[in-house]
């Protein structure tokens, strides 16, 4: 809808410009036209600024006694731009500014910033120069930094903890392309109807159809995606790796997600469950102490960890793990994919209704094994007679609306 409006605005502008040309106005941008331009500019900015909400508030002020100078210096140092003669790797080569989509086991600058925001400089310095954990000692071995630099880095990190990271400019390519095609459509229409400059009418026609097709495709795809999030793999507050736990260490899924068999919800393990092991295991093979320390911290401070929820069904869908795991004995991997290979947990299936429904069409019910199905006398008879090869989930009503929507 919005795009439509935008196209219209653009169309208006073009029209006005052509009108202005025809009328031989001295200036291209007549007042009315300027209004349109301003409006469209405003809208455009609005879109862009959506992501790029500038957090200018923190920049202008002096934070926690650190001058802006310090903060900038710290940032440049962290990013390896200062000092020029520094031989070792820069901080940023190991520590991402933000967590990113590919798993970097080392804590991000943001994570460090948050952890050390409330602590003094000495503890910060100690963590770098006299690290406690084995892994950290190994990685940080041989780092010798000027105290001044470290202070600057700390200032930079403190500031980051206060105001948040500088937002990375979002890619608006798709949007731009979409708008570009919108303009193409406008042009093609105008050309076809009014200008008639191009001899081969087929060209604007093709352009028109192709652009419309592209826009339609994008809208369709995005509309479907709107409620979907296949592949969603957000950063979690703790870099928990299912690969290490379920894969390498072979912990059974249901050890942690122990309500999966008899409750609707599989359950996220309570922190005290983590502590069953981590009371002993205090240093991970990948992340050292940093991540595990968060669990301990959470338990000590009675501050539960706020995981980012991956598998979100709409509110009108009621899914029960108990039926699928407890009764149908499905493997977790059927829906959640090769979790034991995922460092960063991601949504494997698209969780669309079609996905559910089609699985119900193909999956056999544990018809003989489960005593509940004695109720289905007819189907048992047919199975015995051989009229029926297998009972699929949909044969016992798994695809009824009110199995999931009520």
Partner 1 sequence: MYKTSIRGKLIEGDKSLAQISTDILAPIDAKTPKWWYVAMTVSLAMFGWGLYCKYITLSQGIGTWGVNNTVGWGWAIINFVWWIGIGHAGTAFSIFLLILRQKWRTAINRAAEAMTVVAVACAGLFPLLHMGRPWLFFFVFPYPNTRGPLWVNFNSPLFWDFVAISAYLLISASFWYFGMVPDFATIRDTTKSKIKKAVYGFFAFGWVGSSKEWLRFEALSFVLGGIAAVLVVSVHSIVSTDFAVSVEPGWHTTIFPPYFVVGAIFSGFAMVLTLVTLMRKLYKMNDFITDSHVDAVCRILIFISLIMGTAYLTEIFIAWYSGSEYEMFTFFHNRITGEYAFQFWAMFTCNALVPQLFWFKSVRSRLWVVFIISILINIGMWYERFNIVITSLTKNYLPASWAGYSPSIIEIGFFIGTLGMFSAGVLLFFRYIPMIAVSEVKSIAKFNEEIQPNEDH
Partner 2 sequence: MIGVFDNEFDLVKAFEKVKARGVKIDEVYTPYPIHEILEGMGKKTRISHAAFFYGLFGALLVLGGMYYAAVVSWPLNFGGKPFNTFPSFIVVTIVATILIVTLATLFTFSARAKVFPGKQARIVHPAATNDKFVMVLLTDGSAEEAAALERILQENGASEIIKQNEPHG
Partner 3 sequence: MKSYWRSLKELEDPKALRIQEAREEAKQKSLLHKTKGSSTANSRRDFLKTLGFSLAATSLVASCKRPVEKAIPYLVKPEEITPGKANYYASAYYDAGDYCSVVVKVRDGRPIKIEGNELCPISQSGTSARVQASILNLYDGARYQGPQQAATTISWSDVDAEVTKILKEIAARAGRTVLLSQTVISPSSKKIIQQFLDSYPGAEWIQYDAVSASGILVANQKSFGQRAIPDYRFEKARVVVSFAADFLGTWLSPVEYTKGYTAARKLDDGQREMLRHYQLESQLSLTGTNADVRFPVKPSEEAGIVLALYNAIAAGRGGEQFSGPQTAVDVSALADELLAARGKGIVISASNDENVQLLINGINQLLGNYGETILWDSALLTKQGLDSEMEQLNKDLLAGKVDALLVWGVNPVYDQANGAELAQAIQKLKLSVSFAERKDETAQVCQYILPEPNYLESWNDLEPKAGQYRMAQPTISRLFDSRNVQESLLAWCGSPQSYGDFIKSVWEQEHYPKQSTYSDFRLFWNYSLQKGAWEDPRSASLTYNDAWLAEAAGKLTNTKSGLEVVLYESIALGNGKYANNPWLQELPDPVAKISWDNYASVPVDYAEENGLQNESVIKVNGMELPVFIQPGQAPDTIAVALGYGRSHAGKVGDGVGKNLYPWVGEANGGRQFYLEKATIEVVPDAIYELALSQTHHSMEGRPIVREANLDEYLLKANAGNEIRQEHLKHSVTLYEEMDFNGHHWGMAIDLNSCTGCGNCAISCQAENNVQVIGKEQVRNRRIMHWIRIDRYFSGDPANPEVSHQPVMCQHCDNAPCENVCPVAATPHSAEGLNQMAYNRCVGTKYCINNCPYRVRRFNWFQYVNNDRFDYNANNDLGRMVLNPDVTVRSRGVVEKCSMCVQRIQEKKQEAKVAGRMLHDGEIKTACQQSCPGDAIVFGDLNNPQSRVSKLFRNERNYHLLEELHTLPSVGYLTKIRNKA
Within 201-220, the residues that bind partner 2 by CB under 8 A are 201
Q: How many residues bind partner 1 (CB under 8 A)?
A: 10
354 binds, among partner 1, partner 3, partner 2, none (CB under 5 to 8 A by kind): partner 1
269 binds, among partner 2, partner 1, partner 3, none (CB under 5 to 8 A by kind): partner 3
Determine if 205 is a binding residue for partner 1 (CB under 8 A).
Answer: no
Greatest distance between any 2 Cα atoms in the chain: 91
Selected from 23, 54, 193, 202, the binder of partner 1 by CB under 8 A is: 193
* Cα–Cα distance measured from residue 68 to residue 332, given in angstroms and rounded to the nearest whole number: 51
Asked whether 288 and 135 are in contact (CB, 8 A), the reply is yes
Determine if 363 is a binding residue for partner 2 (CB under 8 A).
Answer: no
Instruction: Give, as one character, the DSSP assignment of residue 314.
Output: -
* Cα–Cα distance measured from residue 358 to residue 403, given in angstroms and rounded to the nearest whole number: 15
Could you tell me which stretch among 75-83, 146-154, 185-193, 315-323 binds partner 3 (CB under 8 A)? Answer: 315-323
Query: Which residue reads 């790796």 in tokens?
Result: 241
Determine if 192 is a binding residue for partner 2 (CB under 8 A).
Answer: yes
Selected from 63, 188, 271, 292, the binder of partner 3 by CB under 8 A is: 271
Residues in 175-194 at the binding interface with partner 3, rule: CB under 8 A: 175, 178
Residues in 81-100 at the binding interface with partner 2, rule: CB under 8 A: none
* Cα–Cα distance measured from residue 401 to residue 357, given in angstroms and rounded to the nearest whole number: 10
Instruction: Give, as one character, the DSSP assignment of residue 259.
Output: T
Determine if 150 is a binding residue for partner 2 (CB under 8 A).
Answer: no
Of 264 and 361, nearer to partner 1 (C-beta) is 361
User: How buried is 60 (Cβ within 10 angstroms: 0-12 exposed, 13-18 middle, 19+ buried)?
Assistant: exposed
Q: Which of 152, 130, 151 is nearest to 141 (CA)?
A: 130
Selected from 1, 56, 193, 280, the binder of partner 2 by CB under 8 A is: 193
Determine if 406 is a binding residue for partner 3 (CB under 8 A).
Answer: yes
Determine if 352 is a binding residue for partner 1 (CB under 8 A).
Answer: yes
Query: Which residue reads 């500088």 in tokens?
Result: 166
Of 55 and 93, nearer to partner 3 (C-beta) is 55
Residues in 157-176 at the binding interface with partner 3, rule: CB under 8 A: 161-165, 167-168, 170-171, 174-175
Contacts of 17 (CB under 8 A, 6+ apart): 28, 33
Distance of CA 312 to the CA centre of its chain: 13
* Cα–Cα distance measured from residue 42 to residue 359, given in angstroms and rounded to the nearest whole number: 48
């Amino acid at each position: 809808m919005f795009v439509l409006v935008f196209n219209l605005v653009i169309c208006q502008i073009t029209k006005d410009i052509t009108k202005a040309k025809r009328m031989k106005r001295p200036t291209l941008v007549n007042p009315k036209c300027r209004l349109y331009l301003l409006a469209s500019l405003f809208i455009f900015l609005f879109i862009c600024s959506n992501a790029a909400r500038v957090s200018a508030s923190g920049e202008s002020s002096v934070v926690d006694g650190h001058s802006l100078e310090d903060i900038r210096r710290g940032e440049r140092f962290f990013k390896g731009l200062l000092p020029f003669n520094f031989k070792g790797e820069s901080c940023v080569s190991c520590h991402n500014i933000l967590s990113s989509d590919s798993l970097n086991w080392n804590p991000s600058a943001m994570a460090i910033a948050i952890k050390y925001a409330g602590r003094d400089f000495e503890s910060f310095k100690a963590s770098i120069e006299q690290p406690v954990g084995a892994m950290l000692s190994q990685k940080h071995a041989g780092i010798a930094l000027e105290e001044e630099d470290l202070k600057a880095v700390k200032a930079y990190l403190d500031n980051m903890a206060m105001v948040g990271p500088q937002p990375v400019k979002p890619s608006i390519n798709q949007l731009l392309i979409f708008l570009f095609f919108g303009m193409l459509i406008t042009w093609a229409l105008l050309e076809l109807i009014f200008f008639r400059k191009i001899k081969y009418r087929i060209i604007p026609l093709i352009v028109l159809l192709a652009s419309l097709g592209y826009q339609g495709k994008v809208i369709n795809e995005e509309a479907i995606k709107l409620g979907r999030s296949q592949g969603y793999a957000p950063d979690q507050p703790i870099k928990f790796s299912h690969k290490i736990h379920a894969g390498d260490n072979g912990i059974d899924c249901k050890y942690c997600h122990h309500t999966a068999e008899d409750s609707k919800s599989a359950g996220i393990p309570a922190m005290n469950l983590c502590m069953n092991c981590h009371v002993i295991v205090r240093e991970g093979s990948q992340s050292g102490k940093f991540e595990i320390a968060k669990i301990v911290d959470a338990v000590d401070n009675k501050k539960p960890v706020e995981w980012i929820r991956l598998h979100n069904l709409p509110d009108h869908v009621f899914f029960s793990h108990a039926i699928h795991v407890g009764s149908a004995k499905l493997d977790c991997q059927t829906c959640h994919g090769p979790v034991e290979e995922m460092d960063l947990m991601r949504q494997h299936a698209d969780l669309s209704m079609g996905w559910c429904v089609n699985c119900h069409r193909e999956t056999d019910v544990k018809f003989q094994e489960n005593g509940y199905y004695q109720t289905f006398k007819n189907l048992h008879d047919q199975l015995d007679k051989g009229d029926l090869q297998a009972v699929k989930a949909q044969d016992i009503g798994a695809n009824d609306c009110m199995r999931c929507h009520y």
